[in-house]
């Protein structure tokens, strides 16, 4: 393609003289005498097995003048086939390649000739042809999907900027591997977390079941004493009721005594009801709800529950409490289970000593850091040295008939409520269990 200006026509003539109608086995078609719109339309309709060479368009058939680069840019933008050029200035505007002299090369040649003349060397011919080079725009090669093996050897490649993949291939691969590894790690951790949660839920359920069975076992040990504890108020209720019947037949009835009898009946009934309610709460199973409670009251209610059993074992219990409430957050039934277990263990430990020396001391108070402390001390032989580091492990017991689960369950219960349970190694006589719970 060439324009309608005189310079454009000279280029057309040169091309016809050099190329003719057929060159290197290819048909050559010359397009000129069109408007810029006509050039663009023609370029857009070219068959796919052709290429387009744009010479110069200083002026089109309508007389409109152009800077050749601008005209070439607009035509190349509309072309349906690769575009080639005879000027290096056309590159960067959709031109694929061309065998051209660059302005940099021409400037370097002129500078070299000038230096030779300044030095007095006048041997250069009157005319020195500009050096030409095959120039290729790598972006257009990619755009047209041209095989890079077709690029001539020694060609100068423009815009050969490697892609992000080519430039950072190793870094990208490493980053992808890290991301994949992180994803796999996250997936593994998520799976492990789910398994841990499921296992934790199972362990909590089994711990609650084991604690419930332990409570039932403890209550089984107390069954005889509890029956006695219920028999006393029931016997008193019966005696008072019979006395009331007799007094009601007197003429006139003694109202004050009858009223006193009813008061005794109500008190004995409440006492029996309290024992039954305590038994019922300790027999219940399920999730351990937590609430703010007074550790003093938990100890007193537990001692009251075990009173008949301790009397049967001829064991005295002294509770040394703090006047102010000891508020902790926990489950009352589970705390009572721990206290009852420690209390009965202390009584068992003193079974072989004379009854006069059987004494359990329960002390309540606050530590310097504000935590609540409960201790249960006995006067027995103490913990054997070989069991001091093993006493809280399951199935470890100094009792011939014990399963060795009581203390293990107690420690689990206390730790689940944010506390600690241990034996004081500093005591010189008997054993002293220490329970520490955070204040509410």
For 348-375, the pLDDT digits (tens) are 899 889 999 999 999 999 998 999 999 9
pLDDT per position as a tens digit, 122-149: 888 888 888 888 999 999 999 999 998 9
Cβ neighbour number for residue 149 with a 10 Å cutoff = 5
Partners of 436 in the β-ladder: 373, 420
Residues sharing a CB contact under 8 Å with residue 413, sequence separation 6 or more, in sequence order: 211, 331, 334, 335, 337, 338
DSSP category for residue 138: H
Q: Tell which residue, 419, 393, 424, 388, has the closest CA to residue 408.
A: 393
Q: What is the pLDDT of residue 390?
A: 81
Q: What is the pLDDT of residue 248?
A: 76
Cβ neighbour number for residue 101 with a 10 Å cutoff = 17
Q: What is the pLDDT of residue 279?
A: 58
pLDDT per position as a tens digit, 411-421: 888 888 899 99
At residue 124, the 3 state secondary structure works out as coil
Q: Could you give the count of Cα atoms lying within 13 Å of 258 in the half-sphere of its Cβ?
A: 11
What is the C-alpha end-to-end distance of the chain, expressed in Å?
94
- The rounded distance, in Å, linking the Cα atoms of 163 and 315 is 89
Q: Residue 163: is the preceding peptide bond cis (ω within 30°)?
A: no
Q: Give φ, ψ of 372 to 5 degrees.
A: -90, 140
Could you tell me the pLDDT band of residue 119, with boundaries at 50, 70 and 90?
very high
For 51, counting Cβ atoms within 10 Å of its Cβ (0-12 exposed, 13-18 middle, 19+ buried), the class is: middle
- The rounded distance, in Å, linking the Cα atoms of 185 and 178 is 10
Percent of all residues in the chain with a pLDDT value above 70, rounded to a whole number:
86
Could you tell me the pLDDT band of residue 409, with boundaries at 50, 70 and 90?
confident
User: Mean pLDDT: which of 246-255, 261-270, 316-325 is highest?
Assistant: 316-325
Structure tokens at 57: 């368009």
Whether residue 426 is predicted with pLDDT greater than 90 in this model: the reply is no
Residues sharing a CB contact under 8 Å with residue 313, sequence separation 6 or more, in sequence order: 347, 351, 358
Question: Which helix (DSSP H) or strand (DSSP E) does residue 279 occupy?
Answer: helix 255-283
- The rounded distance, in Å, linking the Cα atoms of 211 and 337 is 8
Could you tell me the pLDDT band of residue 229, with boundaries at 50, 70 and 90?
low
pTM of the complete model? 0.45
């Amino acid at each position: 393609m060439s324009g309608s200006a005189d310079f454009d026509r000279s280029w057309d003539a040169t091309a016809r003289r050099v190329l003719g109608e057929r060159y290197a086995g290819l048909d050559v078609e010359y397009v000129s005498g069109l408007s810029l719109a006509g050039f663009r339309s023609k370029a857009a309709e070219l068959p796919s097995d052709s290429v387009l060479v744009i010479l110069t368009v200083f002026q089109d058939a309508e007389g409109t003048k152009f800077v050749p680069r601008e005209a070439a840019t607009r035509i190349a933008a509309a072309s349906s086939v690769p575009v080639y050029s005879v000027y290096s200035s056309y590159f960067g505007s959709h031109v694929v390649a061309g065998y051209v002299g660059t302005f940099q090369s021409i400037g370097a040649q002129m500078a070299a000739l000038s230096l030779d003349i300044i030095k007095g060397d006048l041997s250069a011919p009157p005319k020195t042809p500009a050096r030409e080079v095959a120039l290729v725009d790598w972006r257009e090669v990619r755009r047209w999907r041209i095989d890079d093996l077709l690029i001539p050897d020694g060609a100068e490649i423009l815009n050969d900027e490697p892609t992000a993949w080519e430039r950072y291939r190793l870094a990208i691969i490493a980053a992808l591997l890290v991301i994949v590894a992180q994803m796999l790690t996250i997936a593994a951790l998520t799976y492990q977390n789910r398994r841990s949660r499921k296992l934790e839920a199972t362990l909590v359920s089994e711990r609650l079941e084991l604690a419930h069975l332990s409570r039932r076992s403890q209550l089984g040990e107390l069954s005889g004493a509890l029956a006695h504890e219920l028999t006393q108020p029931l016997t008193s209720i019966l005696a008072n009721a019979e006395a009331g019947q007799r007094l009601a037949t007197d003429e006139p009835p003694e109202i004050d005594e009858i009223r006193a009898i009813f008061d005794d009946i109500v008190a004995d009934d409440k006492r029996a009801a309290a024992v039954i309610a305590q038994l019922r709460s300790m027999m219940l199973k399920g999730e351990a709800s937590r609430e703010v409670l007074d550790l003093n009251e938990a100890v007193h209610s537990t001692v009251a529950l075990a009173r008949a059993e301790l009397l049967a074992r001829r064991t005295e219990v002294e509770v040394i409490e703090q006047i102010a409430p000891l508020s902790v957050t926990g489950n009352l039934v589970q705390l009572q289970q721990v206290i009852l277990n420690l209390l009965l263990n202390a009584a068992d430990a003193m079974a072989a000593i004379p009854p006069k020396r059987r004494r359990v001391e329960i002390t309540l108070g606050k530590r310097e850091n504000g935590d609540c402390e409960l201790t249960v001390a006995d006067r027995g032989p103490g913990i054997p040295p070989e069991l001091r580091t093993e006493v809280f492990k399951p199935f470890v017991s100094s009792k011939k008939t014990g399963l060795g689960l009581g203390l293990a369950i107690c420690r689990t219960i206390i730790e689940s409520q944010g506390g600690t349970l241990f034996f004081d190694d500093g005591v010189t006589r008997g054993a002293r269990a220490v329970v520490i719970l955070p204040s509410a």
